Amino acid sequence: MNDKIIGIIGGMGPKATIDLYTKIVDATEIEKEQDHFRVIIDSNPKIPDRTEGILGIGESPLNALIETGKNLEKLGVDIGCIPCITAHYFIEDVQKELSYPILNALEELNKYIKENYSGVKKVGVLATTGTRKIGLFQKYLTDFSIIYPSDEIQKECVMEAIYGKEGIKHGNLGNKPLQLLKRASDELIEKGAELIISGCTEIILVLKPHHITKPLIDPMDVLAKAIVNTAKLA
């Protein structure tokens, strides 16, 4: 029986939260509806922007992340996760304040790549500027050479696709952000990337594996499968 309760510290953004929940449902093997895990989601879009907080141009999201995590704690969750890569910068400080474990998506991603792409050495990452600046992927993917788009492509393509007026955070999942992300991916492949990581949870809502010529890895897909397996064994 899948009796453990999974908690999602969400809202960063809401569609990425929905996407992770869907992935958790899809990753759960069932014979009947009641076999699914109980999942409690606090989708809190009021959490301050993670990139702005990291770059020092906005309020830190740490207190709001802890508060949201504690809401889930009061409801009795057994294991939690965060559907925002940039927010993983704060995960250790959040974990200190919570009684239940939070599964780290980047630790799970590192294990997944080692197990499934053992020959890969150079990994391209599409991520927010905040995630790039703090070296979050270098911290966890220590056995790989991490490459990012050029500063120009980062600003004009990646950040514009995520935050621009026609970007994903404004509800646009159409051709404009897709073409920007494809352009950034092509540059990474030209630089020698053997696979590409969707290093922001919004990116995979638009950019799909069939859009590029190298494998595209979604950390949230990896996280969903890992949290289901962990909850089964807990």
What is the spatial order of strands in the sheet that 122-126 belongs to?
A: 145-147, 122-126, 195-198, 216-217
Q: What is the pLDDT of residue 2?
A: 84
Token reading at 181: 């992300």
Q: What is the pLDDT of residue 19?
A: 93
pTM for the complete prediction?
0.92
Q: Which domain holds residue 97?
A: 5-104+221-233
Residues 91 and 111 reside in one and the same domain: no
How do residues 39-50 score in pLDDT, each as one tens digit? 999 999 999 999
Residues 85 and 169 reside in one and the same domain: no
What is the chain's mean pLDDT, rounded? 95
Is it true that the peptide bond before 164 is cis, omega within 30 degrees of 0?
Answer: no
How do residues 153-203 score in pLDDT, each as one tens digit? 999 999 999 999 999 999 999 999 999 999 999 999 999 999 999 999 899
User: Can you tell me the distance from the alpha carbon of 11 to that of 227, in angstroms, rounded to the nearest whole number?
Assistant: 19
Percent of the chain clearing pLDDT 70 (strictly above): 100
Q: How confident is the model at residue 234 (pLDDT cuts 50, 70, 90)?
A: confident
CA distances in angstroms from 182 to 101, 143, 149, 203, 213, listed in the order given: 36, 26, 11, 11, 10
Indicate the number of domains in the chain.
Answer: 2
Q: How confident is the model at residue 1 (pLDDT cuts 50, 70, 90)?
A: low
Residues 148 and 185 reside in one and the same domain: yes
Catalytic residues: 84, 200
Residues 99 and 199 reside in one and the same domain: no
Residues 226 and 183 reside in one and the same domain: no
Distance of CA 138 to the CA centre of its chain: 15
Residues 200 and 190 reside in one and the same domain: yes
Q: How confident is the model at residue 149 (pLDDT cuts 50, 70, 90)?
A: very high
Q: Which residues 6+ apart lie within 8 Å of 100 measured at CB?
A: 7, 72, 73, 77, 78, 79, 80
Residues 81 and 115 reside in one and the same domain: no
Say which CATH number the domain at 30 has: 3.40.50.1860
Q: What is the mean pLDDT of residues 110-123?
A: 96
The burial of 56, by beta-carbon neighbours within 10 Å (0-12 exposed, 13-18 middle, 19 or more buried), is given as exposed
Q: What is the pLDDT of residue 233?
A: 86
Residues 65 and 134 reside in one and the same domain: no
Instruction: Give the number of other CB atoms < 10 A from CB of residue 134.
Output: 16
**DSSP characters over 69-136:** HHHHHHTT-SEEE-S-SGGGGGHHHHHHT-SS-B--HHHHHHHHHHHH-TT--EEEEE--HHHHHHTH
Residues 20 and 37 reside in one and the same domain: yes
Residues 93 and 175 reside in one and the same domain: no
How do residues 52-104 score in pLDDT, each as one tens digit? 998 899 999 999 999 999 999 999 999 999 999 999 999 999 999 999 999 99
165 close to 193: Cβ distance less than 8 angstroms: no
